[in-house]
Chains A and B, each alone.
Chain A
Amino acid sequence: QVQLQESGPGLVKPSETLSLTCTVSGGSIRSYYWMWIRQSPGKELEWVGYIYDTGKANYNPSLKSRVTISVDASKNLLSLKLSSVTAADTAVYFCARGGDYGDRRYFDLWGRGSLVTVSS
């Protein structure tokens, strides 16, 4: 059974870089699209970006200048970096998997999420 687990600091200072890791266990990272999605407290979901196992990535245009998503297929790890954070970046960050056979239209498996608070 494939599981996703996000990890990283729960508190980041304004203007610094948020860094999260998603560990994929019980299955391979290959041949799937992997997403980062965030949810601000009491607010709707926002797509951050995705990456394929080859390293091909695409980002939300509103975050593109600050986001980097990378993958280490040998370790089944995904990572998210968001630079120059502000309080508006406070959210629960989820990693999620696209559908089978490289289908990136929807997300069929999610991690439990990692709350990141931006505060001095």
Chain B
Amino acid sequence: EVVLTQSPGTLSLSPGERATLSCRASQSISSSYLAWYQQKPGQAPRLLIYTTSSRATGIPDRFSGSGSGTDFTLTISRLEPEDFAVYYCQQYGITSYSFGQGTKLEI
């Protein structure tokens, strides 16, 4: 099973700043198999990025994804107040899936 480790656990930034979130896989995975989600308290996760760098429908272009092999990154170019939430990476492993433990982005 592929284990995803996200860092940092908590990221404290201000609106207007740039956020860089990391997701490291325990073994190399295809860039086609990596997605990112945003979750706010009491809500379901929302798909942001799929296949490493494709934005989901309706996601603003301040969100971008990159990476390959074992290292993947979610970047938010200019933080808006509504971006403060928990972010998860997720990988597809043909017969199973795994999620990272999450990065909390706080003001």
| A107, closest chain B residue (CB) | B47
**A105 to B88, Cβ gap below 8 A?**
no
Count A-B contacts at CB 8 Å. 52
Contacts of A14 in B (CB 8 A): none
CB within 8 Å for A105 and B101 given contacts A45-B88, A94-B44, A112-B44: no
Known contacts A44-B88, A110-B45, A112-B43, A105 near B33 by CB under 8 Å: yes
A49 to B: closest C-beta gap in Å: 9
Interface of B is mostly: mixed
A61 within 8 A of B: yes
Residues of B within 8 A of A46 (CB): 99
Chain A contacts to B: CB under 8 angstroms: 44-47, 58, 60-61, 94, 96, 99, 104-113
